[in-house]
Structure 1
């Protein structure tokens, strides 16, 4: 029996995304579990089969022209899918690809075949509806979710709250698979870290998007207020986004206590985390954050960092009552200041708390997450009477046994 063939359509340039591990590492794990996975991604430079970060990807080269590049990419995706049609068991895609993928089910029904099956994976809800461009995009994504609830063969989501937020019917939801981390790769950050002496500055790091909804400016003000009160903190913000120029202007007034750096290659992130003492997640209590599963949380943990986080669902569902997290019970500057004060008073314990954080990361590996996706994909095949390799079934059964335990 042949391996089940999954074609996974990712309409963003994987080479440039901070969260590319979601697709790259999960693809590797699924292949290790007995799947034949074709990951299709957009690229500004490459065409055809390439290897990027140890993962074979089929790139479709496109110019970076808003909307036009998306349309052209998906036309080429459809041509690619039609050429491989008879070999594909499942086509997995996201909201942005839905208008082009949805009609393929009608083609399948007209042909009288049972496959390829269509599975839509939802990992985001609209982040910002304040401008016309983002309102249109957000409205489009929500419309795609509503159509998918009726039309596709199955769905997956990043978290249970996400599945509820987009109202996925229980009979359509085949699984939830959260973000994860490559534990061994990020564990190397612990090797060269030097924890601060009682009179030295505690170094905070944030890596990720710098859009203004992320609450980074409030965190900057909190760090400066703490320093003005006699505490010692330094902070590095790494990433890009709309708010980056404002953050750079503010950082320029802090005598080097706050630095804003551009995005770095994923391979350099463990080294940056090794120079820090605290990982920061200052997000406000808004739906797009509540229903998410932040990759950086797991990377901070695997790197052995205690966490400064706001007390919202996406953080509490992972961290619970862990002692290595310092909660901000709100997203205002004052709330963040209270968390910084707690960190300062616990500064002699940061090394011990970091070790606890690293131990907790083991249960949030990409391998564990991929097992959940494997179980969802296998369940979709089984429900539709499509044969599955014994190795794939065995992986699913192992996952089910671990859940029951």
Structure 2
């Protein structure tokens, strides 16, 4: 079965772990796959799938629109090659409608509702709703979401039936680098965050928390890895407090795992906003797969549906300092090694990409063999 995935995401992007993992998984499940995205010709030469490059504007806010416009130009000539299409919601409803009119079954992929704020967010929400409306109207056959909360939100907003949705959460690969965590009594607690360094993700607020933790007698450091609109502010804080903070630029997946293995606790600072409450955070699984403990803001996007975990501590934002102090002070070196091992085991059993890939492949195969 030959699938085309039309995505706005560049595969060398810091956030491209999900499309990479799902694409490899579909190939392993026996699908033929073509990726259409803004990467340059030749950038996918090392991958097992075919690639079609479609250009987009470099101007923020116009990227999705320009990409979709250019995709529409080539669809009539290439659509007959494909038995089904996966389309990111950002690509837009017009691409979905054209594919459906050319008798190509379409599946909408939603890895996150709009995360931006202000005017750009309002424009993105319009595209999001119009894209999902194609599922409601039966133009697209199915929609993929990242969590049960995300599915509930889509159903509530647009009246889409549960039978038209499938949950494909973010997965992970268990990190084989290093042993279970160890920490000497004289060593500081090493926190780490990797991902987008954007203002609405609670990055700067957690940096303030780290300063307060040290004032409360908890010897700790924070490493931040990534890029975003608060990168300059992060770098300033690192210069002002070099013993507390380290900044590292974007890394590839293997480099991330190597860096994570040098820390003790992964951080989920994203606040209780709608976009994060609906999420299935990739970094949560990667922290656990590396044997890290996890701390973060308490909301549905960070919790596990099967209850509290001893290696994960969530707190209300205003109570961050006191809550983290109690958590780390309750853990000795033996506890840390045990909790680290349990975190890795949980990630291996429940958070592997194979679960998401199986769901994705099952929907594609089931719908097209009715």
Residue 49 of structure 1 contacts residue 58 of structure 1 at CA under 8 Å; is this kept in 2?
Answer: no
Identify the match of residue 320 of structure 2 among 335, 339, 348.
335
Match of 1:179 in 2: 170
Shift of 1:195: 2.1
Distance 1:258 1:55, change over 3 A: farther
Shift of 1:327: 2.3
Match of 1:125 in 2: 113
Aligned equivalents of 2:147 and 2:336: distance in 1? 30
Match of 1:155 in 2: 143
Identify the match of residue 91 of structure 1 among 85, 88, 101.
85
Matched, 1:215 2:202: yes
Shift of 1:314: 2.1
Shift of 1:289: 0.9
Distance 1:337 1:206, change over 3 A: farther
Aligned equivalents of 1:64 and 1:124: distance in 2? 22
Match of 1:323 in 2: 310
TM-score after normalising by structure 2: 0.90
Q: What are the ranges of 5 or more consecutive residues in structure 1 without an aligned counterpart?
A: 109-114, 386-405
Matched, 1:345 2:330: yes
Residue 266 of structure 2 contacts residue 295 of structure 2 at CA under 8 Å; is this kept in 1?
Answer: yes
Q: What are the ranges of 5 or more consecutive residues in structure 2 without an aligned counterpart?
A: none
Aligned equivalents of 1:343 and 1:68: distance in 2? 45
Match of 2:340 in 1: 354
Residue 158 of structure 1 contacts residue 292 of structure 1 at CA under 8 Å; is this kept in 2?
Answer: yes
Aligned equivalents of 1:337 and 1:58: distance in 2? 52
Query: Residue by residue, what CA displacement relative to the aligned partner does 1:54-94 show, whole Å, maximum 9, x if unpaired?
Result: 76543334452445554443344334433332231111111
Aligned equivalents of 1:55 and 1:352: distance in 2? 41
Residue 308 of structure 1 contacts residue 326 of structure 1 at CA under 8 Å; is this kept in 2?
Answer: yes
Residue 156 of structure 1 contacts residue 376 of structure 1 at CA under 8 Å; is this kept in 2?
Answer: no
Matched, 1:170 2:161: yes
Residue 205 of structure 1 contacts residue 236 of structure 1 at CA under 8 Å; is this kept in 2?
Answer: yes
Shift of 1:284: 1.6
Matched, 1:11 2:8: yes
Matched, 1:297 2:284: yes
**Which is worse superposed, 168-177 or 28-37?**
168-177
Query: Residue by residue, what CA displacement relative to the aligned partner does 1:272-316 show, whole Å, maximum 9, x if unpaired?
Result: 101111111122222111111011111111111111122211222
Residue 149 of structure 1 contacts residue 169 of structure 1 at CA under 8 Å; is this kept in 2?
Answer: yes
Identify the match of residue 35 of structure 1 among 10, 20, 31.
31
Matched, 1:280 2:280: no
Distance 1:55 1:224, change over 3 A: farther
Residue 174 of structure 1 contacts residue 379 of structure 1 at CA under 8 Å; is this kept in 2?
Answer: no
Shift of 1:49: 7.3
2:72 aligned counterpart, secondary structure: helix
Residue 135 of structure 2 contacts residue 164 of structure 2 at CA under 8 Å; is this kept in 1?
Answer: no
Match of 1:100 in 2: 94
Aligned equivalents of 1:324 and 1:106: distance in 2? 46
- CA RMSD between the two structures: 2.3
